[in-house]
Amino acid sequence: VDSDGAEATVVVKNPCNFPIEFYSLDFDEQYLEEEKILRMAVGSKHPQNFLMPPRAVGGTLPPEVLEDYQEQKTLEAQQAELKAEAEAKVEAEAMGEAAPASHTAVTPYPEPVVKVTGNPLSRAVMRHLGIEPSSQGLEAQQHRGIVVIIHGTPRAGKTEVAAALCHYYGAAHLSIDTVVKEAIADD
């Protein structure tokens, strides 16, 4: 990039089915804008590494992140407008003039909505995974669990380990022997 016209041939081989996308961190305007948006969305309270849903080549950030960014920009504009109005009022009062009337009504940003909906990156990942962000959806998701399969040689203590894990986590225990016996009994 910083050379005086030197040319080089680069051969890129893609051993997988995912497409490869090339871009320059110095010149790609979309990348630079997306970095700014992500910095605002993630903020300083989150680690530098975070999960995001995959996107198609040339695609944009998830809509949840873009909507949050627009809301943040609107909030900043409203706060700047309120600050300018307050400064104008103080200045007018100092000069003995009547304070200018406000021309537009500014609606403050609804804080409770932010607390309920959560982080825009989390919402994007939840949408990608098909998790419903409503309270009923989250409750249903919490009732889903994982299945642990304990495998080993005969008389290795698998049943005791499984029973101990089920007791510790309050989970159900299912033995393959029981399943086979019930299947035979039910034809």
Taking the chain (187 residues) in consecutive chunks of 10 residues, what is each chunk's mean pLDDT? 76 84 77 84 65 78 89 90 88 70 46 50 80 62 70 86 82 80 84
Q: Which long-range contacts (CB under 8 A, 24 or more apart) does 48-52 make?
A: 50/121, 51/121, 51/125, 52/121, 52/124, 52/125
Distance CA 18, CA 51 (A): 18
Distance CA 139, CA 132 (A): 9
| pTM as predicted | 0.48
How many other CB atoms are found less than 10 A from the CB of residue 119?
19
The whole-number pLDDT of residue 4 equals 77
**Structure token digits, residue 175:** 């033995």
The whole-number pLDDT of residue 17 equals 85
Distance CA 83, CA 90 (A): 11
Per residue in 80-110, is it b (16+ CB within 10 Å) or e — as a string? eeeeebeeeeeeeeeeeeeeeeeeeeeeeee
Q: List helix spans (H) across 62-134.
A: 63-94, 111-117, 120-129
The whole-number pLDDT of residue 112 equals 37
